[in-house]
Amino acid sequence: MPLQVHYQPYKLNFRFAAGTSRGILTEKTSWLIKIYDDENPTLIGIGECGPLSGLSIDDRPDFEDNLQAICREFNKLDLEIYSWNISIILEQLIGNQWPSIRFGFESAMLDYLNGGKRILFDNDFVNQHKNIPINGLVWMGSHEAMLHQVEEKIADGFKTIKLKIGAINFEEECAILAYIRRHFSAQEITLRVDANGAFNAETVHTKLNRLAEYELHSIEQPIQPKQLELMAELCEVSPVPIALDEELIGAFDYAEKRRLLKQLKPKYIILKPTLLGGFELTREWIETAQRLDIDWWITSALESNVGLNAIAQFTAEFDNPLPQGLGTGQLYHNNIPSPLKINQGHLLYDPLHAWDFGVLNSSRISSTA
């Protein structure tokens, strides 16, 4: 019997109100998909389609309708999956307009192809020979709440801390950075900040000069994307190294990626496979950046442990010593139990902690028939 794909929405509930410059997050919906053959129902590939509200190009009211249509078309095609045809299926079935769906299908197909064990890339990470260094993420909030998060991350053994800035008073944010630097040097604690485009042309230079006082590793996306002349200037003159994030979203053509990076010349780029269209398209960014001597790291985008697991395994395919942004698995009350664990600022894979997909058995699954 040909392969079938079905999906179900799953609402993830935050443990706390997560503040960003785009607003407060308390919940997030992902669509979990499973690929299987009725003649071998125990072999199931699972993936996650999780558009990020206000950021993904496929964050649209008709998202689920289109996901259902794509699943229905997949089920008509009488497909078999091989390593060589996954990219062909993704391109012809989904294209580039639905990057989070493409990521979910690619993950599910890789999982299915490798035996349905949630091991998409059989590497040192899943074989417990390699842990991935990650940054500890501090969400926007009150001065007191952010300072408390900082202290928790340091106590938990994180050596790299990333603070989201741009929502509260800038002086209060600087006070938090100053507090950290009074107690920890740049050699002891690496500091990253993420402005999510919160600065404007009138203030960005002044704020970057001020932030440089705190010996920051980098600042993500200081201004809104698509201001290419200003961003190129900032990448050249900023005393804090610039990391591009939102600037990359929506660029899928290889030549477009190369032109963008050659024009802006950032120190770093930050890669979110869910927003960029999956692993092969993310790999294009990596190879292009490396040819242009641009460093990079990979970040999850509020996926459940299903998506985070896939991204972590992909990340481990590369020999990148920079701390990655893969600490979001602890955000939710109702995340799917998995082998992913965090210890002393590292993400590790512990097979003694099994996957538990009981939640999928109690939630609605679309027939897509």
The predicted pLDDT at position 22 comes to: 61
The 3-state DSSP class for residue 121 equals: coil
Contacts of 341 (CB under 8 A, 6+ apart): 347, 348, 349, 350, 353
Contacts of 264 (CB under 8 A, 6+ apart): 228, 231, 232, 235, 244, 247
- pTM for this prediction: 0.94
- pLDDT by residue (tens digit) across 61-106? 999 999 999 999 999 998 999 999 999 999 999 999 999 999 999 9
* Interatomic CA distance for residues 369 and 352, integer angstroms: 37
* Interatomic CA distance for residues 99 and 50, integer angstroms: 9
Domains along the chain with CATH numbers: 4-118+357-361 (3.30.390.10), 132-349 (3.20.20.120)
Task: Provide the token pair at 248.
Answer: 């990359």
- pLDDT by residue (tens digit) across 224-239? 999 999 999 999 999 9
Catalytic machinery residues:
164, 272
Task: Taking residues 261-285, report their average pLDDT.
Answer: 98
Contacts of 277 (CB under 8 A, 6+ apart): 96, 99, 102, 103, 252
Residue 17 has pLDDT above 80, yes or no: no
| CB contact at 8 A, 290 and 120 | no
- pLDDT by residue (tens digit) across 103-159? 999 999 999 999 999 999 999 999 999 999 999 998 888 888 888 988 999 999 999
